[in-house]
Amino acid sequence: MIFRTPLEGIEHPEMEADVVIVGGGPAGMACALRLSQLIDAHNAEHPDAPLSKENIYVLEKGREIGQHCLSGALLDPRSMNELLPDWKKEAPIEAEVESDSVYFLTKKSAFKAPITPPPMQDHGNYVISINRFTKWLGSKIEETGITIFSGFAGSELLFEDGRVAGVRTDDKGVDKTNQPKGNFEPGYDLKSKITILAEGSRGSLTKQLAGTLNLFKDRNPMTYGVGVKELWEVPAGRIKPGEVIYTMGYPLTTKEYGGAWIYGGKENTVSLGFVTGLDYPDPRTDPQHVLQSFKQHPFVAKLLDGGKMVRYGAKTMPYGGWWSMPPLGGNGWMIVGDSAGFLNSQRLKGIHLAIKSGMLAAETAFEAWMSGDSSAKQLGTFQKKVEDSWIREELYPVRNFHQGFEHGFLSGMLNTGLLMATGGYGIRDRYPAHAGHERMLPVWDLMGHPGGRSQLLGWSKGDGKLTFDKLTDLYHSGTRHEEDQPAHLIIKDTDICSNRCAKEYGNPCQFFCPANVYEMEDCPGEAGKKRIHLNPSNCVHCKTCDIMDPYQIITWVPPEGGGGPSYDGM
């Protein structure tokens, strides 16, 4: 197996840039749009000395904007109202939220909460498809004249004298053995004054930056959940557009964190999915199986009966909260959106925060551009802008929310009550956190562990109508990659897979990956020994493996640009 390593001796063509935004999701798009607005305002006042948008670039690894975007999703309109006051007139909206309810599920029953807890109340919010919404934002960018390079991934950060000097894009046309093919094109070195990382959850350049500059030194480790989603078409009348349902409990036990969402969209489409916290103890837990078991609950089965599954996908979400966010700006760089963890873990909403963070980063970038100073001092003002804005008003009170659940569901609920009463302080500010993968138990420690979790463990068999096995689900994600390229899941030492992990954890990668990328196959000629086999072209770019592998030896890097899932309508 050959992993993606930079080719030696390749000269990379260079291009100068004023601002490079890595990632075309809501944060990246909002950042570009806001920057364009600031430039237009400036040029209107200084017609003799206009600024040019020509050297502002957005890199997006998907073939088109929105292609890799997946979420529930519910949009809090607060930041869109600031960015584009008339957005409701043109943006694609599935429905305005009409009703919201929270259910607690046991194996057979569903108990509705008498009132929806205030953080989960969604009146004033909108059910959207993040894929369609971001695509629309992309069209707004195209009108502005800022260049979007879709099909190009940010492959490596460029460093010079301790500052981030820009981004290198992916090499194209490299074959399975890491040799250039006939259509080889080296990646471009975009030498940029300001680089803004908007890569989404567990960004790879963000990981590189964090490692190089030890960004998480005084921070809690980021904690994640993986959302596994299916889009369904159901018979008319089953659910109203704008109906929002959250569930807790079954199929999870008190040892796991997570819950489901069900949103009614337009024309009888239902967005449903299950977020499984990536801090579960049993290494055989399979988040895709969790979703299938969830659908078998009578409450959900009734809704979906006779319907058709249209699309499938998965993505991780960072809900470590305020204490696990890295420094936001430094020498030549800023981090926005999910890459920095701009997510309200209590409300489980982050799109509006991603958009606002993109806007504030654009304002910081604009000021830096005008002053010619993109040093840590200047770009560090991004941190201050965030702290002075409603982002902090929203995120600070819930800063200890997720940590409260580290000892299980019940203590989590108790903690939540306590936190809400104390404005987020709780017992002692701040609550520590542990990286989720550290909570995974080796197989021998599972002996004393309570049972009753077979509905979470191992591969789902699927009945083909209501529930599906992983491969069938995966087919509906529209995932495609250029087959002849090196594997983009870099495993530091595959011997660990065969010799240690097989015994200690039973190779959980086979289960936590929602896309069947990881398989253990028999070693030919060595009875009883298994080795890892990768199917990288199945990858849906969720980053679960990078997060959850107990030895932290897996690094996800972008495959050749253009490849990945096709999340139409997700």
Residue 147 interacts with another protein (CB under 8 A)? yes
Identified binder of another protein from the candidate list 79, 467, 537, 555, rule CB under 8 A: 537
Contact 13, 188 (CB under 8 A): yes
Q: Is 424 helix (H, G, I), strand (E, B) or coil?
A: coil
Task: Give the C-alpha distances (Å, rounded to integers) separating 344 from 137, 320, 504.
Answer: 22, 9, 35
Q: Residue 260: is the preceding peptide bond cis (ω within 30°)?
A: no
Name the amino acid, one letter, at 521: E
Reading phi first (left if > 0) and then psi (alpha if -120 to 50, else beta), residue 564 is in: left
Q: Is 339 helix (H, G, I), strand (E, B) or coil?
A: helix
* Residue 569 C-beta: closest distance to another protein, Å: 19
Identified binder of another protein from the candidate list 10, 475, 523, 529, rule CB under 8 A: 475
* Residue 172 C-beta: closest distance to another protein, Å: 7
Which residue number, 176 or 439, has a Cβ lying nearer to another protein?
Answer: 176
Identified binder of another protein from the candidate list 40, 96, 98, 185, rule CB under 8 A: 185
Which residue number, 188 or 319, has a Cβ lying nearer to another protein?
Answer: 188
Lay out the site mask for another protein across 79-118 (x = CB under 8 A, - = otherwise). Answer: ----------------------------------------
Contact 312, 476 (CB under 8 A): yes
Residue 472 interacts with another protein (CB under 8 A)? yes
Name the amino acid, one letter, at 407: H
Strands (E), 219-361: 224-233, 243-249, 258-264, 269-277, 308-318, 329-330, 333-335
Contacts 24+ apart (CB under 8 A), 255-258: 255/280, 255/281, 255/282, 255/408, 255/409, 255/449, 255/450, 255/453, 256/280, 256/281, 256/285, 256/409, 256/456, 257/225, 257/402, 257/405, 257/409, 257/412, 258/225, 258/290
* Residue 297 C-beta: closest distance to another protein, Å: 24
What would the two tokens of residue 133 be?
A: 């919404």
What is the spatial distance between Cα 293 and Cα 287, in angstroms, rounded to a whole number? 10
Reading phi first (left if > 0) and then psi (alpha if -120 to 50, else beta), residue 83 is in: alpha
Residue 535 interacts with another protein (CB under 8 A)? yes
Contact 56, 146 (CB under 8 A): yes
**Interacting positions 211-250 with another protein (CB under 8 A):** none
**Interacting positions 153-172 with another protein (CB under 8 A):** 172
CA 510 from chain centre, in angstroms, equals 20
What is the spatial distance between Cα 561 and Cα 559, in angstroms, rounded to a whole number? 6
* Residue 150 C-beta: closest distance to another protein, Å: 9
* Residue 181 C-beta: closest distance to another protein, Å: 13
Residue 188 interacts with another protein (CB under 8 A)? yes
* Residue 149 C-beta: closest distance to another protein, Å: 6
* Residue 231 C-beta: closest distance to another protein, Å: 17
Identified binder of another protein from the candidate list 13, 124, 162, 432, rule CB under 8 A: 13
**Interacting positions 438-457 with another protein (CB under 8 A):** none
Contact 545, 513 (CB under 8 A): yes
Contact 518, 21 (CB under 8 A): no
* Residue 530 C-beta: closest distance to another protein, Å: 14
* Residue 322 C-beta: closest distance to another protein, Å: 38
Residue 149 interacts with another protein (CB under 8 A)? yes
Which residue number, 185 or 568, has a Cβ lying nearer to another protein?
Answer: 185
Which residue number, 47 or 525, has a Cβ lying nearer to another protein?
Answer: 525
* Residue 196 C-beta: closest distance to another protein, Å: 19
Lay out the site mask for another protein across 480-509 (x = CB under 8 A, - = otherwise). Answer: x--x--------------------------
Residue 289 interacts with another protein (CB under 8 A)? no
Residues that bind another protein (CB under 8 A): 13, 15, 147, 149, 151-152, 172, 185, 188, 464, 471-472, 475, 480, 483, 524, 533, 535, 537
